[in-house]
Structure formats: structure tokens, C-alpha cells
């Protein structure tokens, strides 16, 4: 497995990480804890060193799972988690508003350390920008946690360019986590140039379009009521039917490369910048192995040109989030 440096930071991770959210949250299905731990261990065996979780996934259960799996092999891995919500404490999924007050950030750090069974959080992201707390105060709180040895690196998620600049001036930002894929390329407009200028790594989540770009989903796919994708405008039957044009494009390139659409989608991301480290999530060993195969695919400049030219003629249908969640991104 190749490794990549996230920007100018000292944080080095596997070219592809593993997003762990779906193992315990978001898709309406439960998974056996031991099976998920075994999957995480297999990922480590295959060279993955970068694992992503958050307190809100569950809430809390995903951090506990990741802690059980990775704390015994702590020296081999980089663990990222997140703060920024008033998480439900009654065991129900979700949250009650944003909360990035400095005292709350520090409380979350302590709780996450216990659940993860580690002494230091490698990468601590603000999950969503809190408009009620100056980003300088957020960065300052994480800076203090770094000074105390409880956190190694500061990250932001779905932040706007000016917010990134303001935070970076107080405490260097190692990585920005944002959605980025062949069907969501808005980060290319302002975010990626800002990251390149400042020396900040990019960690794309949903690099496979929440599963859509794998080709395993069609307009006839019925999403369960507990599957969060059923709430997303981009996953209505009409939108999915229109967006199959992206899958068709990936299939055409995959056929030439003896690969799968998912592998081409990931290889395309890896080819964009050397400081991009996507974190596709999965609960299946076959999909894990398939995704990691993307690191062995080389897309030539001609291949990338073909993909970009074809993709430029496709307009993605449907917003990626409903309005109440759309308000939380890009601040």
C-alpha cells in the first residue's frame, strides 16, 4: 500500500483509508461487532493505516468499535475522530444542534480518548462549522489539546475557504475532510486551490458517491427507511436514473482497464493530487479488497482527459443533502 503525506503536516497515511461510519450507523442495518473488528483487522493486514470515526456515529458506538479493533495495534494506525455536535445521550441516533464551544471540545476529546482506548487522537476534526463560535476559538481549543498531548493534528470538515484560512492562522490545519468524487466536484472551484496554497491535505468522504458510483444501485433500488440515503435528493428514483450516466462513464473506462467502476472512481481521485487520501467505507471484505485494488490502477493523462471531458457533459441531478443539512456545509 502506498502512503501519502497530508499536506505539509507530518501526518502520513495509507493512500486509501477506511471510513467506519457504516459499520454502526447511517445505513439502517446492524452488523456483528466481531465481524466488523475482523474486517478492520483485515484492512490493517492489507496495508490500511488510516481509520475514520466520530462521536456522532451511533452515537458513540462506532468509536467504541474502532477502539476495540485498533487499540491493541495502536502503533500501526492513524485514528481520526470528530467533535462539533450536541450528541443525543439517550441512545437514539442524531444530535441536537451544533456545539464547538472550547469547553465542549475538550470534554469530547476526553470522552473519545476513553472510547477509543488510546492516549492521543491522531487527527481531531471539527465535524461541522459552528456559526456561534469563532473558528479562532475552535482552533485555539484544539491547539491547547495538542500542547497537552491529547491530540496530534487539527482537522476541519466541510468548511469554507475563509474559515479554513482563519483556523489555519491560529493552529495549522493538517487536513480538510469534505465530500469529493466524480459526481461532486465543487471542491475544485475554491477549496482545493486553498488547500494547495496552504499545504493542507484533503480527505474525501463518500468518494464512491455513497455507493452509487459502484454501479450496485439503480433507479429501481429500494432504500430502507433507516438508510439515510433515502432522505437525500440525489437518491430519488428520478435523480438516480439521470445520474447513471456517471456509472456508465466509469464502466466504459473500467472495461478498458480490467477494473470495476468503483476502482476507477477511486483511482481518479488519487490521481487528482498527491495529498488526497480518500476514505471509502464498507462492511464487506469483498468490497474492501476491491476498493484497495484501486491503488494498483494507473490512469494516464489521456485517461484523465477522457474522463473529465465526458464528465463535463453530465450534470448531476439532485442536491446532495436536504435543505436543513445543506446549511451545515461550506461555511
3-class SS letters over 261-300:
HHHHHHHHHHCCCCCECCCCECCCHHHHHHHHHHHHCCCC
Q: Are 19 and 80 in contact, with CB atoms under 8 Å apart?
A: no
Question: What digits encode the pLDDT tens for the residues 252-275?
Answer: 999 999 999 999 999 999 999 999
Residues of the chain with pLDDT under 70: none
pLDDT the model gives residue 89 = 82
DSSP-assigned letters across all residues of 12-30: EEESS-EE-GGGTSSBS--
SS3 helix, strand, coil % of the chain, rounded to 5? 45, 15, 40
Cα–Cα distance, 217 to 225 (Å, whole number): 16
pLDDT the model gives residue 129 = 98
pLDDT the model gives residue 218 = 87
Q: Are 42 and 288 in contact, with CB atoms under 8 Å apart?
A: yes
pLDDT the model gives residue 261 = 98
CA 78 to chain centre: 14
Q: Where are the domains of the chain?
A: 3-326
Q: Are 65 and 54 in contact, with CB atoms under 8 Å apart?
A: no
Residues noted as catalytic: 57
pLDDT the model gives residue 299 = 97
pLDDT the model gives residue 224 = 86
Cα–Cα distance, 128 to 82 (Å, whole number): 9
pLDDT the model gives residue 76 = 97
pLDDT the model gives residue 13 = 98
Cα–Cα distance, 139 to 269 (Å, whole number): 28
Coil, strand or helix at 133: coil
DSSP-assigned letters across all residues of 171-233: S-EEEEEEE-BTTB-GGGTTHHHHHHHHT-EEEEESTTTTTGGGT---TT----TTBGGGG-G
The CATH code for residues 3-326 is: 3.20.20.100
Look at the block and give the residue holding cell 491493541: 72
pLDDT the model gives residue 219 = 85
Amino acid at each position: 500500500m502506498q502512503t501519502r503525506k497530508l499536506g505539509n503536516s507530518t501526518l502520513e497515511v495509507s493512500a486509501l483509508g477506511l471510513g467506519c461510519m457504516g459499520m454502526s450507523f447511517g445505513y439502517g442495518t446492524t452488523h456483528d461487532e466481531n465481524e466488523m473488528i475482523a474486517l478492520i483487522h483485515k484492512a490493517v493486514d492489507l496495508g490500511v493505516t488510516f481509520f475514520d470515526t466520530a462521536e456522532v456515529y451511533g452515537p458513540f458506538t462506532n468509536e467504541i468499535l474502532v477502539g476495540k479493533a485498533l487499540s491493541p495495534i495502536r502503533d500501526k494506525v492513524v485514528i481520526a475522530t470528530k467533535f462539533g455536535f450536541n450528541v443525543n445521550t439517550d441512545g437514539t441516533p442524531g444530535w441536537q444542534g451544533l456545539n464547538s464551544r472550547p469547553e465542549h471540545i475538550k470534554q469530547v476529546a476526553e470522552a473519545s480518548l476513553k472510547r477509543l482506548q488510546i492516549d492521543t487522537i491522531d487527527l481531531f476534526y471539527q465535524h461541522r462549522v459552528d456559526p456561534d463560535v469563532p473558528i479562532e476559538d475552535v482552533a485555539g481549543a484544539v491547539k491547547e489539546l495538542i500542547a497537552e498531548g491529547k491530540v496530534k493534528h487539527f482537522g476541519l470538515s466541510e468548511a469554507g475557504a475563509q474559515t479554513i484560512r482563519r483556523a489555519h492562522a491560529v493552529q495549522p490545519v493538517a487536513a480538510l475532510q469534505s465530500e469529493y468524487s466524480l459526481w461532486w466536484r465543487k471542491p475544485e472551484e475554491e477549496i482545493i486551490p486553498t488547500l494547495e496554497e496552504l499545504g493542507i491535505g484533503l480527505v474525501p468522504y463518500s468518494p464512491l458517491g455513497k455507493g452509487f458510483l459502484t454501479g450496485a444501485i439503480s433507479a429501481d433500488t429500494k432504500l430502507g427507511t433507516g438508510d439515510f440515503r433515502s432522505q437525500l435528493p440525489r437518491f430519488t428514483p428520478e435523480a438516480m436514473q439521470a445520474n447513471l450516466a456517471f456509472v456508465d462513464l466509469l464502466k466504459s473506462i473500467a472495461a478498458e482497464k480490467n477494473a470495476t467502476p468503483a476502482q476507477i472512481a477511486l483511482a481518479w481521485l488519487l490521481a487528482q493530487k498527491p495529498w488526497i487520501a480518500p476514505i471509502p467505507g464498507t462492511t464487506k471484505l469483498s468490497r474492501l479488497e476491491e476498493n484497495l485494488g484501486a491503488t494498483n490502477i494507473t490512469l494516464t493523462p489521456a485517461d484523465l482527459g477522457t474522463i473529465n471531458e465526458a464528465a463535463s457533459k453530465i450534470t448531476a441531478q439532485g442536491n446532495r443533502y436536504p435543505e436543513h443539512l445543506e446549511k451545515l456545509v461550506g461555511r
